[in-house]
Amino acid sequence: MTSFQEGRTVTFSKTISENDIHQFAELSGDFSPNHVDEEFMRNSVYGKRIAHGALLVGYMSKASSLILEKYPNADQDSIAVSLGYDRIRFIKPVFIDDIITITYTVDEYDSQSIRAKSTIEIVNQKNELVAIATHILKWVPNSE
């Protein structure tokens, strides 16, 4: 599994659209006024609607898929699965029309447990850190 090593990284950017917010609300069932009610949020400290934190986690998931595409497993008898995201923090709000950049960096790979820990950082167009997490991947056999 030499292609998946510490220091490997992928980055992609995404503009958060009105449509993203509405589609995610439909998909998740999360119609909190924080996300869908402009009038409600106008009177808040944010002054406008904010993106769902779970939507940002979805973009973190895309980053994990991208790194696996870029650095595929050399062992065709196993596949990578996500064991989860630790220490997820939403540091600043993300608004409609913000451009976010997601960076996924492999921090450690343990060949004994066949696991990797990686840092995911999301910044906005002002290069402000808006979210961070640790992602854990494990490689499991294709068959028993």
144 residues of the chain, pLDDT tens digit each: 446 789 999 999 999 999 999 999 999 999 999 999 999 999 999 999 999 999 999 999 999 999 999 987 766 788 899 999 999 999 999 999 999 999 999 999 988 888 999 999 999 999 999 999 999 999 998 876
Output the pTM of the full model. Answer: 0.93
Print the SS3 string covering 87-142: EEEECCCCECCCEEEEEEEEEEEECCCCEEEEEEEEECCCCCEEEEEEEEEEEEEC
**Complete DSSP assignment for 11-50:** EEEEE--HHHHHHHHHHH----HHHH-HHHHHTSSSSS-B
pLDDT at residue 90 in the model: 98
Can you tell me the distance from the alpha carbon of 134 to that of 57, in angstroms, rounded to the nearest whole number?
11
Question: What domains sit in the chain, N to C, each tagged with a CATH number?
Answer: 9-15+52-141 (3.10.129.10)
pLDDT at residue 1 in the model: 43
